[in-house]
Amino acid sequence: MSYRELSVTEVLDVLRIWLLGKGYRAIAELVTADRKTVRRYVEAAQVLGVARGGGVEQLTDEVLGQVAQAVRPGRRGKPGEMRALCRSQRARIEAWLDDGVLVPKVRTLLHRFTGVLVPERTLMRFVADEIGRARKPKTTVRVADGAPGKEVQVDFCDLGWVRDADSGRRRKVQALVLTPVCSRYEFVWPCWDQSVDTVIEGMEAAWQFYGGVFAVVVPDNCKCIVVSADPLHPRFCQAFLEYAQSRGFLADPARVRRPRDKARVERSVQFVQGSLLPGETFVDMATLRETALQWCLGTAGQRDHGTTHKQPAEDFAANERPHLLAAPATPYDVPEWLSVGVRCDHTITVACALYSMPTQYIGETVRVHLTRTTVKVWLHGLLVKVHVRVGKGQAQIDAADLPPGTAELARRDGATLLKQAHAHGPAVGTYVERLQAGPAPWQLARHVYRLLGLCRTYGGKALDAACRQALDFDVVDAHRIAKMLAKGLEHRHGEPPRPRLALVTPLRFARSPDEFATLRATPASPEPGRPDAAQ
């Protein structure tokens, strides 16, 4: 099997089945993982203290994250050399298979053309996984029913056309049919579509109908729950896999186009289609579901079954109900998995709402587990953030996720800024209260940041004195406070100003100020007899 990184949900499934007492080989057959991969995850869990007799409560989100990090601390590279060789010779391999050549002979021919002897198991896996030429059994046998209360088979079927009261038009009605293997006591859940929400809704109604949960569920390979159909390693969507883990049952889907793998429910589908809807008239889906419930209790449950020759309802109550798992006491919250990117503003968008993320995850693509109440963020199998879910258009911002010094401004947290101001002095706190009382909150918020920044430069005592003096003159301006501190004018009335640094070295070429005087002396009176006296 080619390498595939297990998700957190699949790791939980591996450990949960191991806690139930299954071996490595059995777990590998039930989940999409190699036996060696299963062993590595189980051994990593044992190192962390997970004990087989401790119960499922040991598998917390933190433990799962540590197990995933321990098993796969880095990412693997491209496929192996043998798989790459098979891919390069795919056209030649398909041509041999079309001619009826078996895989062992294909291995010999491939060795003859390429000079490389590919392992037979590798070639068989390549043919089965990528070409889809698994060997088909030519004969079959009847499969035993198994233990009572152990297995229930599930399938979808078309019921017909019903007029929808909400839209006023005719719509095709489908049904989710569940049939226990031993008693054949059918449960029918009419629906409009095939989706994972519909499957979960129908199964929730079935567990209430049966009074418990079956240990094994054999569904069809519908795309809503089976992502990749494979006879040996089917892959489920994470929503259905989490639902199976929550209710405690194992899902074992039938093979593609192999109706005999779920023959009991296939036969029940024919009975449902021919008995429930024909000749009836329904006005809405609620009425149809109520009629289907009464049909299951009466017509289907009280009839003489052609194979068992028992009444299915009585047979189920006597032989299967005592062996069921406990019925769920609370409704199931259908989760949703999303892949979103962390933006540069420290947020992600989930279901039209914003949630904050720490700075180190900016630029990463994270996996989000969304329920009705919580938003869990995972990265590489590690839980990195948990938020309480908010409505559309709202935001859930954690101040611890924002860079230091920006949380107050980003959240418009004036109370925190005021608390910081009071820590520097009562006058500083009063000054900030005056600033915050103004009509322009964002401009005045910048004044507050400017004022708090002056404390780092001049100290809290000097800032408190300057604010006290400015308040005496009713001057509310951060720039004025900065100028006062720069000139040393933060002293109160009657107090001397702060001493300035004096010149300790006299100037070398200093001159007297009298030498720069510009006033002229008064001219003396002219002596008699001189030529300028007449002038």
Across the chain, how many H-helices and E-strands are there? 20, 14
- Judged against a pLDDT cut of 60, whether residue 76 lies above it is answered with no
| Full-model pTM | 0.51
Q: Which two tokens stand for residue 328?
A: 């769920």
- pLDDT tens for each residue of 169-183: 888 899 999 999 999
Which carries the bigger pLDDT value, residue 145 or residue 216? 216
Please state, in angstroms and rounded to a whole number, the distance separating the CA atoms of residues 206 and 184: 14
Lowest mean pLDDT among 160-174, 342-356, 380-394, 509-523: 509-523
Please state, in angstroms and rounded to a whole number, the distance separating the CA atoms of residues 40 and 18: 12
- pLDDT tens for each residue of 205-235: 999 999 999 999 999 888 889 998 888 888 9
Please state, in angstroms and rounded to a whole number, the distance separating the CA atoms of residues 347 and 398: 10
Give residue limits of the domains in the chain. Answer: 8-71, 81-131, 154-323, 336-401, 407-487
Q: If pLDDT is split at 50, 70 and 90, which confidence band does 493 have?
A: very low
- pLDDT tens for each residue of 50-60: 888 778 888 88
Please state, in angstroms and rounded to a whole number, the distance separating the CA atoms of residues 276 and 296: 9
- CATH architecture for segment(s) 154-323: 2-Layer Sandwich (3.30)
